[in-house]
Amino acid sequence: MSYKKFYEKQSSTFQVYIKNTNQKEILVKNIIKKLSSSFKLKKDQNFVFTDVGAGDGKVTIPIINFLKNKAKLTCNVIEPSDLIDDFKKNCNFDKINYSKKKIDDVKIPKSDFILVSHVLVYLENYQKTIKNIYASLKDEGIALIVTTNPKSGDVLLKIKLGRDFASLKNLDLTKNIINSLKNNNLKHQLETIPSEINTLECISLNEDGKAIISFFYHKPFDELTNKDIKDFQNAVNGLSNKDNKLTKKEDYIWILK
């Protein structure tokens, strides 16, 4: 099953995986820090925040909650999957425009801040999308593209397990995005930010553990063999620290207009 198909069918395993990392919490913290230091936020001044591939809003909603008291906020949520329905349930902010569409099928509204977290990996022609993102920024606007660092614990785990989805496309994504930004003379900064994945559940094989293993294999848990599960547990043991934490790394590519 392709990653996209798996993701559409089994987004619940992604949500369990997310529950067992501090990755999103760290992302939100870093975004708030950047917004606070880069913009003079004023209650009577318009601020447009667009989240592309926002999922169910785990990252978007805390940022909205931060911005809504600091500026006259409008938010645009672009999310092609049914996760957008969960977003609507989870969020009570009313100045949101929802587009249940893919990024390349919408005109991104002019924005002060555009977030594109773990989305470009799904696109065939992300060079074109990057140009669109830049063109949609207001002057002095900022975009953040988040990708998985090739040395991230979850990538090392996939490589150890010999999974084909640890493909070259994933491994070279940050490098290719940076090259594309350089070729187009777009101002940018790269940061690599660590976070942790709790792997204890995978060893004890409780419901969360089964979902996490399923998420890593991109296969429903009951389709995995005992060998798959043992291989996973051995690999995760080898890569985790003594507290059963696997270090994940994300690349934050800030684009500055």
Ligand X SMILES: C[S@@+](CC[C@H](N)C(=O)[O-])C[C@H]1O[C@@H](n2cnc3c(N)ncnc32)[C@H](O)[C@@H]1O
Q: State the residues that interact with ligand X by CB under 6 A.
A: 24, 52-55, 58-59, 78-81, 83, 102-103, 117-119, 122-123
Contact 60, 115 (CB under 8 A): yes
- Strands, E assignment, the chain: 46-52, 72-78, 96-99, 111-117, 137-148, 188-198, 245-256
Query: By C-beta, is 119 or 211 nearer to ligand X?
Result: 119
Query: By C-beta, is 79 or 201 nearer to ligand X?
Result: 79
Query: By C-beta, is 51 or 112 nearer to ligand X?
Result: 51
Q: Tokens standing for 87?
A: 């977003």
- Least distance from ligand X to the Cβ atom of residue 55, Å: 3
Query: By C-beta, is 67 or 103 nearer to ligand X?
Result: 103
- Least distance from ligand X to the Cβ atom of residue 24, Å: 6
Point out the residue whose Cβ comes nearest to ligand X.
53
Measure the CA–CA gap between 193 and 190, rounded to whole angstroms.
Answer: 10
Contact 203, 236 (CB under 8 A): yes
Measure the CA–CA gap between 79 and 221, rounded to whole angstroms.
Answer: 27
Neighbours of 179 (CB within 10 A): 12
Query: By C-beta, is 53 or 153 nearer to ligand X?
Result: 53
- Least distance from ligand X to the Cβ atom of residue 107, Å: 13
Neighbours of 224 (CB within 10 A): 16
- Least distance from ligand X to the Cβ atom of residue 225, Å: 26
- Least distance from ligand X to the Cβ atom of residue 28, Å: 10
